[in-house]
Amino acid sequence: MKHRIFILEDHPIMRRGYRTLINGEMDLEVCGEAESAEEALDQIPKTRPDLVIADISLEGMNGIQFIKRLQTEQQGLDVLVVSMHDESLYAERALHAGASGYLMKKEADSSVIAAIRRVLGGRIYISDRMQDKVMVRFAGRMVAPVAPGERTLVEKLSDRELEVFELHGRGVSTREMAEMLQISPKTVATHRGRIKTKLAIDHTPELVRRAVLWIESEESGTSGATEN
């Protein structure tokens, strides 16, 4: 019997690519597709997949929110996140939400089938680099637990706010963010205002500086999210 895969991805070209790769395997088949989290939540109970491939950047409910909701409605259903976002910034959050693996889109062509098989086999899929980083952070927390009030940026910001914060750090304009995240420029500005409030930042240039430093810190593997 073939393992059934459901695809949640808002780009038709990506869905077609996944479908071609998956249906080309003797033991895998695509059982359903959706371009929004709401549509996926409606279709998944009807298609009864063994695994869901999900993007993070979606219109409306984003991928992390979708995973949390899915785990309450379909507890135990495996989710493999395949995203444009760097795993060093989002993998831990996705795993904490209930995902079983994280793969970057730029590596999907060569690695998505291996990632699917690993997750279906009951194991977590992240890159070797990310495994080392997670272990280092876990060890650090065991030695010196984080005190109340000293949460990292990732814990302070909502899922969508984190996306907006990251894109500021990568020099993306408000209009470009709106297009990438499929939200309005006004909504981007609202998220930016909430980020400033949560991080006690007065001006947008300071927000951008903090975002750049945070990305550099996370991608270099150093701990801490530049909160000073």
What's the CATH code of the domain at 189? 1.10.10.10
How distant, in Å, are the alpha carbons of 20, 63, 144, 172 from that of 16?
6, 19, 46, 28
Same domain, 112 and 190: no
Q: Is residue 13 part of a domain?
A: yes
Same domain, 7 and 120: yes
Same domain, 174 and 61: no
Interaxial angle between packed helices 87-97 and 128-143, expressed in degrees from 0 to 180 and rounded to the nearest 10:
70
Same domain, 63 and 114: yes
The type of residue at 212 is V
Q: What is the pLDDT of residue 134?
A: 63
Is residue 190 within 8 Å of residue 198, measured between CB atoms? no
Q: Is residue 141 part of a domain?
A: no
Task: Note the pTM of the prediction, 2 decimals.
Answer: 0.73
Same domain, 114 and 161: no
Is residue 68 within 8 Å of residue 98, measured between CB atoms? yes
Ranges of the chain with pLDDT below 70: 132-154, 219-228
In this structure, what token pair is assigned to residue 145? 């637990």
Q: Is residue 25 part of a domain?
A: yes
Give the span between the Cα atoms of 145 and 11, in whole angstroms. 41
Same domain, 45 and 124: yes
Q: Which of 128, 156, 189 is the last residue of a domain?
A: 128
Query: Based on the structure, what is the number of domains in the chain?
Result: 2
Q: What is the pLDDT of residues 106-147, one digit of tens each?
A: 888 889 999 999 999 999 998 877 776 666 555 544 444 444
How distant, in Å, are the alpha carbons of 27, 113, 222 from that of 82?
20, 12, 24
Q: What is the pLDDT of residue 143?
A: 44
In this structure, what token pair is assigned to residue 39? 């549509």
Element (H, E) at 7: strand 3-8
In this structure, what token pair is assigned to residue 180? 């990438």
Q: Is residue 158 part of a domain?
A: yes
Give the span between the Cα atoms of 94 and 56, in whole angstroms. 9
Q: What is the pLDDT of residue 152?
A: 64
The type of residue at 19 is R
Is residue 100 within 8 Å of residue 80, measured between CB atoms? yes
Give the span between the Cα atoms of 121 and 157, in whole angstroms. 33
Same domain, 71 and 178: no
Instruction: Give residue 153's domain range.
Output: 146-220
Element (H, E) at 191: helix 185-199
Residue with tokens 């059982």: 31
Q: Is residue 139 part of a domain?
A: no
Given the DSSP bridges, would you call strands 78-83 and 101-104 parallel, antiparallel or unpaired? parallel
- For residue 91, give the CATH number of its domain: 3.40.50.2300
